[in-house]
Structure 1
Amino acid sequence: MKSHATETAPLDPDSVLIVDGVFAFRPEIDTYWDFRIWMDVDAELSVRRGAERDRNWAGSDAEAIHRDRYLVAEHLYLRKVDPLPRMDAVVDNTDFARPLITN
């Protein structure tokens, strides 16, 4: 199986590359970003959305996985890395149909 990490694509100097990732502002990679956007959503809503999305593979454990694993990891990340002060934009993503730039 070929990993996506081994694939490359040529880019023009004026290209825009958008990267979406969990923990994307860790110190070891944070310097690579020219513009940082934080998608903000309430923790409980995030757990509900994740559980709903992942129920097909996680079954009845989906909510526990999101609450006890992913949410805990995010809280640790936020305390350790404190990425929010470095954001160029913050988007309230409570309503998928109506994201709102708040910063």
Structure 2
Amino acid sequence: MDTTPAEPLSRAAGLSWLVSRIRPRTGRTLVAIDGVDGAGKSTFAGDLTTELTDSGLTVIRISLDDFLNPVSVRHAQGRTSPEGFVADSYDYPRFVEDVLEPLGSEGCGRYRAKSYDFATETPLNPPWQVAPDTAVVVVDGMFLHCERFYDERGRKLWDFSVWLDVPCAESVRRLAERDGSPSDPDDPRIRRYVEGQRRYIERRNPARRADLVIDNG
């Protein structure tokens, strides 16, 4: 892999950098778009998908939010627990089994794009799909640089990973505008989420682990 940019790039420059490195690849390519809630992950993933599709590549979009745990697991450590938010939000084993393993460079290509519907709090078992041998898999979600996405030798399972860098106050403001949640990062009603994401950043330092950091503030 080429040397990664030494400094965060703008959104446009970051997209260009990423597309220029994905296009020459053969086989399947796994791309992670990581960031705090409100960082613009799904929007950036959508823009990347458009750029790659316009280049003639087949793109498969996956969101980690479609692999949530049931509410009983998500809140097993308490409804206000930051630790529980980081550790228990997602069904990582199912995500690895249904997405990462089959869509990796040596995978069989038989995958499922979802396992849970948050709106109805319902488990899902959609039909299996088959990916072509050459495709780009773009995954957006939180905590994509956590230890579960590294192998036993400490190597990332992603071919490329992106960290969208957004100040906490800005991400909370965006969420308040989008969802009507509190706009103060210190509001106790959102402590579970804000503090959980701060702990993830402190422990995993995703900006250092990512191949590309985008200034998305």
TM-score normalised by length of structure 2: 0.36
Indicate yes or no: 2:209 matched with 1:86.
Answer: yes
Residues 35-73 of structure 1 show CA distances to partners (whole Å, capped at 9, x for unaligned) of: 001111111000100111111xxxxxx11444x222211
User: Aligned match of 2:162 in 28, 37, 44?
Assistant: 37
Q: How many residues align?
A: 85
Tell me which amino acid in the other structure corresponds to 2:175. Answer: G
Aligned-residue CA RMSD (Å): 1.8
User: Aligned match of 1:23 in 130, 143, 148?
Assistant: 143
Indicate yes or no: 2:193 matched with 1:70.
Answer: yes
CA distance in structure 2 between the partners assigned to 1:9 and 1:29 by the alignment: 23
Residues 3-45 of structure 1 show CA distances to partners (whole Å, capped at 9, x for unaligned) of: 7224442112220010000111111124321100111111100
Q: Give runs of ≥4 in structure 1 deviating > 3 Å.
A: none
Task: Choose between structure 1 and 2: higher helix proportion.
Answer: 1
Instruction: Indicate the structure (1 or 2) with the bigger Cα radius of gyration.
Output: 2
CA distance in structure 2 between the partners assigned to 1:9 and 1:15 by the alignment: 13
CA distance in structure 2 between the partners assigned to 1:49 and 1:69 by the alignment: 17
Tell me which amino acid in the other structure corresponds to 1:87. Answer: A
CA distance in structure 1 between the partners assigned to 2:157 and 2:130 by the alignment: 17
Contiguous gaps of at least 5 residues in structure 2: 1-66, 68-113, 116-124, 151-155
CA distance in structure 2 between the partners assigned to 1:84 and 1:90 by the alignment: 6
Tell me which amino acid in the other structure corresponds to 2:170. Answer: L
Contiguous gaps of at least 5 residues in structure 1: 56-61, 95-103
Task: Choose between structure 1 and 2: higher strand proportion.
Answer: 2
CA distance in structure 1 between the partners assigned to 2:166 and 2:202 by the alignment: 17
CA distance in structure 1 between the partners assigned to 2:209 and 2:129 by the alignment: 28
The match for 2:133 is 13
